[in-house]
Structure 1
């Protein structure tokens, strides 16, 4: 039986992958044009003719890679969310052995801010993704990966926790950081005060659970 994520991932799969340098350049132009339109004009202007025109390619070329605009959006979302989850997974490897777990979480929030700055179209892609419920599983899968990655480290920091409780703590932290950064990046430059308050609330929440009574 196909899961919701597998169904969304199938939609996101390009019809063909570019192999030669010229094809890769064309593919990149299509992706850049799609992100630019989402960022500057929104989902209402996101259509294959508009994207092809922005990319400077024939619409038939676009269709050789993506069946429709939904497939292109799913690809962009999968690419962004996979990068987001991979970044968290990499950092989570050091959580349990870090000399100061509080600093690890502060640094992790800063790392997620830096990630958003390096991916300026990410918020627009996320907003478009969330507007299409049948593709939301792409976001949920990324959240699951980020949640699971931190569980071993949390259990090393606080052996008194059950795995279930560690998972809940990690899930709440992941959801909170994602939601607050989505809001903070609604404007440019992003809302640094909101990020700083996120750090304060995060530490208050975590101390309550990770520090034995």
Structure 2
């Protein structure tokens, strides 16, 4: 949304600024986390669902916040976005490979 939608970064800031919208943003993050947890459990059937959910929520929250930072025009925005790919891959890889 940040890059594809004109004023996407502004919309993200509005989602966080308005309490009613903040709940929608949190629901979206939880849906993303559930999707990631499903992938973790599929790649690692021995993983407990609760642990997969916690791992997924951690990465979902981290990605969301760092992307927000990157798209706020921070001087290191492009580098943050690039490094976020590395962080995500390195964090999740041990959980999705047996």
TM interval, shorter chain, is 0.7 to 0.9
Q: 1:202 aligns with which of 70, 80, 88?
A: 88
Query: Is residue 173 from structure 1 mapped to residue 35 from structure 2 by the alignment?
Result: no
- 1:178 deviates by 0.9
Deviation string 1:148-201 (CA, Å, 9 cap, x unpaired) is 12222211111121001111111111111111111111129x822111211222
Q: Does 2:37 align with 1:151?
A: yes
CA distance in 2, matches of 1:134, 1:204: 34
Give the superposed CA RMSD: 2.2
What count of residue pairs does the alignment treat as equivalent? 97
Q: What is the distance in 1 between the residues matched to 2:47 and 2:23?
A: 29
Structure 1: 5+ residue stretches without partners: 1-114
Deviation at 1:211, TM superposition (A): 4.5
Counterpart in the other structure of 2:10:
124
1:161 aligns with 2:47: yes
1:184 aligns to what? 70
What SS does structure 1 have at the residue aligned with 2:69?
helix
Higher RCO (CA 8 Å, separation ≥ 6 residues):
2
Q: Which runs of 4+ in 1 moved over 3 A?
A: 207-212
Map 1:86-125 → 2, pairs under 5 A: 115-125=1-11
Q: Is the 8 A contact 2:3 2:9 kept in 1?
A: no
Residues 92-148 of structure 1 deviation map (CA, whole Å, 9 limit, x = unaligned):
xxxxxxxxxxxxxxxxxxxxxxx4221131221221232222431111111111111
User: What is the TM-score with the length of structure 2 in the denominator?
Assistant: 0.81
The structure number with the bigger radius of gyration is 1
Q: Report SS of the residue matched to 1:186.
A: coil
What residue number does 1:75 align with?
none
* Consecutive unaligned residues in structure 2, runs of 5 or more: none
Contact 2:39 2:96 in 1 (8 A): no
CA distance in structure 1 between the partners assigned to 2:97 and 2:3 by the alignment: 33
Where 1:117 maps in the other structure, the secondary structure is coil
